[in-house]
Amino acid sequence: MGDLLQLAVVIPTFNEKANVATLIAKLDQALVGLNWEAIFVDDDSPDGTADAAREIARLDKRVRVIQRIGRRGLSSACIEGMCATAAPIVAVIDGDLQHDETLLPAMLDLLKDGETDVVIGSRFVSGGGTGEWDSDRVAKSALATKLSRRVLKCDLNDPMSGFFMIRTDIVRHLSPSLSAIGFKILLDLLTASPTPLRFVEVPYTFRCRTEGESKLDHVVAMEYLIAIYDRMFGRVVPVRFAMFSAIGVLGVGIHMAVLTALFVGFGTHFLVGEIVATLAALTFNFFLNNALTYRDRRLKGWRQLVDGWVSFAVICSVGAVANVGIAAFLYEMRDGAWAASALIGVLVGAVWNYALSSKFTWGR
Ligand code: GDD
Ligand code: MN
């Protein structure tokens, strides 16, 4: 029996092929004398990141690779990596060399005293920094940090950090209550814990990316807002249902616009206008839900999209029948309560469409 495994380093990757070997070499240097493993969690990157990592792993048994198919998401990748190790302590570090791996041994020491649950690499304590960020990104980051204060009730300077080390049993314990949405895995962990986690921040300077590009785009920014929503109201109205419903409301707008254009503008038959408007709204809702509500299990390619569209159309048709049926029934029972009857019909239809499409259209 060799020495006990002390530390796992989880590395979420998407299109980081050019950084894989360098990162392992840097970890090898930084972690001399320790018993560690590195776990790449790759979302089937088109550039072949997983292959590059496996090539190293064949020679170096400290390196492991989890390749997820048909899934996307930084947070969920980190969670899966953290739950896949036998090491008592786990670190998360970006795969693009922007975080400072030389801090890892010091972070490990800080966790050993038993008084600390999480050690956080921080850009916003003295000695740390954001490197060569432009003022735009600094402002956005400051705004996001400010917003995080609404859900995070502690004095943490860098809650958005993607570089931290934590006791593995804490993650395993908290994993059922994590939202796993978007980029903010640390914030997710801190806000999921019923008792405040004891943290220490260590300063580091965010390095420049030299290879590949950032995946932090507008959708990720939106996912951040969703994650905050989830922590604040997610118990009352689940976040996916809220998005699905909001998109449904937009679909009504599309329906009315198309109908107005055809029926009023071009003078088509009302029925023709209705049919085209319904198909347009349905298609619009399908693609928007596919891009946003179910981004993490998005359908891709002709086959999946056509199958998905058909199942969505079937489900929504039944939903529409249920909607009208229930509204008519209630209207009969409570004579005159037309608005309330219609609204309840809409709600039942929405829940039906949501429940069935999440299971059948996007449920794989
Ligand atoms: N598995 C997986 N799936 N990995 C992903 C995904 C995904 O969907 N999206 C991004 N990654 C990986 C990248 O390949 C990289 O290794 C790491 O996650 C960070 O992604 P970047 O796209 O480089 O993010 P960033 O540099 O803009 O943001 C980083 O710094 C922020 C601090 O402002 C991240 O660490 C953020 O979490 C952090 O808040
Ligand atoms: Mn990066």
Q: And the tokens for 198?
A: 């004891």
C-alpha 346 to ligand 2 mean position (Å)? 43
Q: What are phi and psi of 12, to 5 degrees?
A: -75, 135
As a whole number of angstroms, the longest Cα–Cα distance in the chain is 82
* Model pLDDT for residues 299-348, shown as the tens digit of each residue: 999 999 999 999 999 999 999 999 888 988 888 887 778 888 888 888 99
Give the number of whichever ligand sits closest to the CA of residue 13.
1
Give the number of whichever ligand sits closest to the CA of residue 133.
1
C-alpha 186 to ligand 1 mean position (Å)? 12
**Ligand 1 binding pocket includes 16 (Cβ within 6 Å):** yes
C-alpha 329 to ligand 2 mean position (Å)? 56
Q: How many CA atoms lie within 13 A of 267 on its CB side?
A: 0
C-alpha 209 to ligand 2 mean position (Å)? 6
**Ligand 1 binding pocket includes 214 (Cβ within 6 Å):** yes
DSSP-assigned states of every residue in 223-279: HHHHHHHHHHHTTTS-HHHHHHHHHHHHHHHHHHHHHIIIIIIS---HHHHHHHHHH
Q: Which atom of ligand 1 has the smallest separation from the CA of 43? A: 1
Q: Which amino acid is at 305?
A: L
**Ligand 1 binding pocket includes 207 (Cβ within 6 Å):** no
The C-alpha angle 351, 352, 356, rounded to 5 degrees, equals 115
Q: Which atom of ligand 1 has the smallest separation from the CA of 95? A: 16
Instruction: Collect all residues with Cβ–Cβ distance below 8 Å to 255 and sequence separation of at least 6.
Output: 277, 278, 280, 281
**Ligand 1 binding pocket includes 162 (Cβ within 6 Å):** yes
Instruction: Say which DSSP state 216 is in.
Output: -
Separation of first and last alpha carbons in the chain: 41
**Ligand 1 binding pocket includes 216 (Cβ within 6 Å):** yes
pLDDT for position 103: 97
pLDDT for position 2: 65
Q: Which atom of ligand 1 has the smallest separation from the CA of 160? A: 39
* Model pLDDT for residues 233-266, shown as the tens digit of each residue: 888 888 889 999 999 999 999 999 999 999 999 9
**Ligand 1 binding pocket includes 248 (Cβ within 6 Å):** no
**Ligand 1 binding pocket includes 73 (Cβ within 6 Å):** yes
Point out the residues of the chain with pLDDT beneath 70.
1-2, 364
C-alpha 315 to ligand 1 mean position (Å)? 36
Tell me which of 39, 71, 98 to substitute to probe ligand 1's pocket, judged by most ligand atoms within 8 Å of the beta carbon.
98
**Ligand 1 binding pocket includes 72 (Cβ within 6 Å):** yes
pLDDT for position 238: 86
- Cβ proximity of 92 and 7 under 8 Å: no
Alpha carbon of 240 to those of 157, 187, 297, 353, 355: distances in Å?
30, 19, 13, 12, 10
C-alpha 18 to ligand 2 mean position (Å)? 13
C-alpha 94 to ligand 2 mean position (Å)? 7
Could you tell me the sign of the dihedral formed by the alpha carbons of 113, 116, 118, 121, in that order?
Answer: negative
Centre a 10 Å sphere on the Cβ of residue 213 and count the other Cβ atoms it contains. Answer: 9
